[in-house]
Homo-oligomer: A and B are copies of this chain.
Amino acid sequence: MNSRRIILLAHGSSDKRWCDTFEALAEPTLTAVSNSRIAYMELAEPSLDAVVHEGVAAGTREFTIVPLFLAAGRHLRKDVPAMIEALEQSTGASIQLCPPIGENPLLGQAIKDVVALQLGQNTGQLGIQS
């Protein structure tokens, strides 16, 4: 049993299509990684607050947040650290914030693959060099 809970944190939206996309993005990770959850920063459920509190109630003391953001802006530099500090104080849990996924070079490679597929589907002209 892995007692650390992994939280994939997305920015939320009141538009259900937005959340559907993030749920599809999270699905391979949620399937592969034990004790992992998706949570939203704002405007959608489950909230970060709810997912941390539910974990603490189930005995989890350590959380790792992986932001489903391509880059760090004000939300990840200011708002999320403030939310984490408040949650650590109110629950006694330890919450680690990872860099946004977009800072990992694997994402740049995946983007190249997506563009190659897109061009193949849409134009039949790849223009891709290996």
Contact = CB atoms under 8 A, between A and B. Distances in A.
Interface string A61-93: 000101011111100000000000000000000
B106 A6 contact: no
The quantity of this chain's copies bound in the complex is: 2
A57 interface: no
Contacts of A36: 115
Query: Which size bracket describes the interface of A in this complex?
Result: 35 or more
Interface string A17-56: 1100110111111011111100000000000000000000
A101 B83 CA distance: 28
Nearest to A25: B108
Contact of A108 (B18, B29, B64, B123): B29
A32 B111 contact: no
A102 B32 CA distance: 19
B106 A13 contact: no
